[in-house]
Structure 1
Amino acid sequence: MISDYRRAALALAVGLGLALPAHAFTACQVTDVGGIDDNSFNQTAWQGVLDAQDQLGIDARFLESQAETDYEANINSLLGGDCDVIFTIGFLLGDATQAAAEANPDQMFSIVDFAYDPPLPNVLAQVYATDEAAFLAGYLAAGMTETGVLGVFGGINIPPVTIFMDGFAYGVAHYNAQKGTDITVLGWDPETREGLFTNNFDSLDDGRAFAQNLYDEGADIVLPVAGPVGLGSAALANELGAEELMIIGVDADLYQTDPERGHVYLTSIVKRMDRTVFEVIETAMDGAFEGGVIVGSLENGGVDLAPFHDFAGAVPQELQDELAQIRAGITDGSIPVGGE
């Protein structure tokens, strides 16, 4: 572990442009499929490592998984002492991470979108209350739709995906309850747990096709919870025009990471994986690393709604004020995000 004094010295060296030791502290990442530049969760988590590289002077490495069969091999290839902490990105890496952690109790691991019960002593899990931010997005979409129909679909039917869909559907339901409206959500029923899934996180063609089908059924706002797949939905919206179809992004602020189509994003449901990854690295460098769980929420800034950007002038002030009130209600517990 690295002391506070050592960490400060490394940060100062970076700021002064001085040469760093060959091995200061190394953070390594194993991506899920979709790659390091997926405009989504892999890239956002990697940004936390890059931020630590810039600010704390660490070394950084990553390995990309092309398929689920790569998880175990990629993790194992990073073992052996070259990586102080190994980050594994995504729910689907849960089993491979557990196996490696149990076989290598002195190696520090951190996994995004998965938590163990009971916790593993050398794995710090990062999970997110994305249903809180998605609830706001659902309420926003209900207030902005012209057709009264909204659409949502997921990549794979796993908890880190469906938590977005739950929050979105319940946010729409809250709008209906408050306004006496009947805005419809196509693609997910949080009670029956049935909905639309592409069963992958990488096919832009599927993103286009699923959004097209929802649009054909009347949806004028679509939430794709499928990583890079959603870029295909945005491409369709770009061709149709935002006045016909708007997209709500996930994980990162897609207005910034997908700038060519930024004008189609009403907002994005942001998971600050960069912030929690950076926090884990700081904790490890301070010698305070231990197994457990970090939970990102609206209250601590771990999840949020991105700015409305090009739609800032289109979202009525009354609706913005209601969103602020709902945010406060979620934070203080007076508004449940799991349905009323």
Structure 2
Amino acid sequence: MSREKILHLEGLGAEVKITRSDVAEGHPEYYQDVARKLASETEGSFFADQFSNPANPLAHRTSTAPEVWEQMEGKLDAFVAGVGSGGTVTGLAEFFKEKNSDLQMIVADPEGSIVADAVTKGNYKYDGGSWLVEGIGEDFIPTNLNLDLVDDAVTVTDKEAFEVLQQLLKEEGILAGSSTGTLVCGAIKWCQKQDSPKKVVTFVCDTGNKYLSKAFSKSWLKDNELTEEEEQGNLADLIRKRADKGEMISVKPQDTLMTAYNRMRASDVSQLPVLEEEKLVGIIDEEDLLLNVYKDETLFSKSIDSIMVRDLETIDVNSDEKELYKILSEGKVAILFDANIFLGFITKVDLINRYKSLFKVS
């Protein structure tokens, strides 16, 4: 789940419990089982259970569907939606098929979810996989999903979904979320299979504001292999944010320790490069800050150049990965250079991401 969604819920006063997304029903960390347990143990609580609550499809049957039908003036051949709880698909289909029995209800499903197989093959098996798209896709068939009302399904990969939501922003000015990327991509893929023109509708069902740290973060997309950046075949491929491309947060020698602290917090990093006229002159990290402001708030006004580390151990971009591993295993951050050009930092997490990609671990 994106950090933005968690902060939104916490801002509303909710206590958020993080569970696993790669386990099936019956596992102690399965999200619905955790929710039921919390509801049973919390006095005065109510388990809304959108997966089987009949109010869910009813809301779409009586409000969402009539609105779409009116705006389309009844001229609609197919509707593409995703399945999370199943309420949207079922509610829409109940209304639309009463109006036009030939109208087709299509499910756009993330790769790894079992819904598409259930629709197109009549059987499914959940293998413990997970997907990066949030809000849709399932490891079971919800009570609220009436498969008899679904005519077809299209599988969409994470990469396809995230590419489409970027395309929506660049070409249509729509800041949408990952579910929308799946739906729009699914609608396009389904239309491409047709042999005659069709009027097809889908949703912009979530906002990109809830995914800024994921779908619109270059480093997150790179970590999850959702970009087409050409690799250079050296250690530069491991850098999440390039200093030479202006992607890295930095400070200047004359900035204060408070400035360094604020930028570390805002960027969720533990060390910053100190740059002067785009040249690396030092590094400051959390430990440097702690040792210098301990029990004396006035020291936050000290300049960074008074405490920054100047004696820097660097590594060349064309060095062997074993040399990088040695630096990281000693508890240091790797400072990468290409000749005299500072490229950025490589941390332990960056190298782990590399191994995760090489080993194809999902």
TM-score (norm 2): 0.29
TM-score (norm 1): 0.31
**Structure with greater contact order relative to length (CA < 8 Å, sep ≥ 6):** 1
